[in-house]
Amino acid sequence: MSTTVNPGNRPTGYLPEGADINRNIAARRLRGKVWQAFFLSSLIIGLLALATLLYTIVDDSFGYIAVQTKIDPEKLSDRPLEELSKEELIEILRANISPGLFRRFDRDEPFSERSKESVLQLIEERVIGREVVAAYKLTESLLERDRIEATVRERFPRAELEFHSWINREFLTRPMSSSPILAGVGNAILGSLWVIAITMLLAIPIGILGGVYLEEYASDTWYYRLIETNINNLAGVPSIIYGILGLAVFVRALEALTSGATFGVTDSNGRTILSAGLTMALLVLPLMIINAREAIRAVPQSIRQASYGLGATKWQTVWHHVLPNALPGILTGTILSMSRAMGETAPLIVVGASTFVVFFPDSVFDKFTVIPIQIYNWTQQPGAQFRSIAAAAIIVLLVTLLLLNATAILLRNRFKRSY
């Protein structure tokens, strides 16, 4: 019987003896330590990248700003503007802007229908005219305060220096504005929640039902293998392709439905929240099906066999035993899909998300914007203040994602079962 010699000139099945045993063990331990060092290095690089990202975002979100106003608010009234009634604010606005501009505001939205906050925002924008003439990062605000004060006194003698947090209640509740200090992400947060709600409403049931059929009912035939291959490939298709598909199908071909014209809505087109939600549902559907199949496949066969042994039908087995045991895995897939849909920008730009929206959407047939679009828009602006509000919006997006994911994780742990 011949022996096979490997590249190390040792026959196959060779076992070290004597001193070779110690050298063999030492060599294997060395290789193990080298790989452990690679694993640890990868973890450290990842943590450093994450820490750098968080530091950059936080550094831009807080710091000193130099604010300059056209008119001192104390000259408009002997009381704080926030304590005045809506009628008093309207009179202040009328007295400090041109009659033509006042009539234009009234045509855009009658003052009788405007809220007190809306009138107050007009006064801040058109009368007081607060403008951030300089913004500083958190690090230099903490370490170089004297230099900053001297610079502001020299370059902006009328400006006031104040420490500012770009993340505040007004930032979370206000709509877009051309002035950074008056801009907010309130309508972008609402737009993101509208789009995610429609996406999950469609993708979760269709993804789970499709996964159940392919895993429990479909036979091993060539056309089901073809479907499976295509679903796996669709999960890796670039998101911009889904945007083009959504533009062709939902915005143009189904415009009568997605614009709301079928239901009597006349002031909209197909570039609506509904089109965006349908497009994002297509984007995450392959992920939902793949994750649902993997979760269902992980349920032990013994559970199915026990159910069949007691006389249960296939549907009863799936409904009462397979799906409850697969639910934690399905929820994990839902978390991943939701996170991807929340952070996508390219398909929404193609579908028609607006970069400047000053109203809050109140139906699925409204125009919309989302947080990633706002971040993209602000990062394209030249002023340093826009970078600061973009960093603040990134924190809002991360917190929103963490809250949504935490909810899904709690549900997953609630339904988790051990075998």
Q: Shortest CA distance to 176 belongs to which of 167, 162, 186? A: 186
Average pLDDT, the chain: 86
User: Rounded to whole angstroms, how far apart are CA atoms 9 and 13?
Assistant: 12
Residue 217 lies in a domain: yes
Total count of domains within the chain: 2
Q: What is the pLDDT of residue 264?
A: 80
Q: What is the pLDDT of residue 209?
A: 92
Comparing 1 with 408, which gets the higher pLDDT? Answer: 408
Q: Do 356 and 248 fall within a single domain?
A: yes
Q: Do 212 and 123 fall within a single domain?
A: no
Q: Do 237 and 323 fall within a single domain?
A: yes
Q: Do 282 and 138 fall within a single domain?
A: no
Among 155-169, 172-186, 196-210, 244-258, which stretch is predicted with the lowest mean pLDDT?
172-186
Q: What is the pLDDT of residue 2?
A: 45
Tell me 67's DSSP state.
E
pLDDT at 5 over 50: no
User: Rounded to whole angstroms, how far apart are CA atoms 148 and 10?
Assistant: 73
Q: What is the pTM of this model?
A: 0.78
pLDDT at 126 over 60: yes
Name the burial class of residue 154, with classes exposed (0-12), middle (13-18) and buried (19+) by CB atoms within 10 angstroms of its CB: exposed
Residue 383 tokens read as: 């002023």
Residue 178 lies in a domain: no
Q: Where do runs of H (alpha helix) occur along 318-383?
A: 323-343, 346-351, 371-379
Strand intervals (E) in 115-210:
131-135, 160-165
Q: Which residues constitute the domain of residue 279?
A: 185-418
Q: Do 260 and 407 fall within a single domain?
A: yes
Range 251-264 average pLDDT: 86
Residue 324 lies in a domain: yes
Q: Do 271 and 381 fall within a single domain?
A: yes
Query: pLDDT category, 159, cuts 50, 70, 90?
Result: confident
Q: Do 310 and 405 fall within a single domain?
A: yes
Residue 274 lies in a domain: yes
Domain at 277, CATH number: 1.10.3720.10
Among 77-81, 248-252, 289-293, which stretch is predicted with the lowest mean pLDDT?
77-81
> Where is the domain boundary, 97, 132, 166?
166
Residue 180 lies in a domain: no
Q: Do 162 and 198 fall within a single domain?
A: no
Strand 160-165 with 131-135, pairing: unpaired
Residue 126 lies in a domain: yes
Per-residue pLDDT of 199-250, as tens digits, reads 999 999 999 999 999 999 988 888 888 888 888 888 888 889 999 999 999 9
Q: Do 193 and 331 fall within a single domain?
A: yes
Q: Do 207 and 347 fall within a single domain?
A: yes
Q: What is the pLDDT of residue 1?
A: 43
Range 150-170 average pLDDT: 88
> Where is the domain boundary, 166, 198, 224?
166
Residue 99 lies in a domain: yes
> Where is the domain boundary, 114, 131, 166?
166
Q: Do 160 and 209 fall within a single domain?
A: no
Q: Do 243 and 371 fall within a single domain?
A: yes
pLDDT at 14 over 80: no
Per-residue pLDDT of 78-110, as tens digits, reads 888 888 888 888 888 888 888 888 888 888 778
Residue 260 lies in a domain: yes
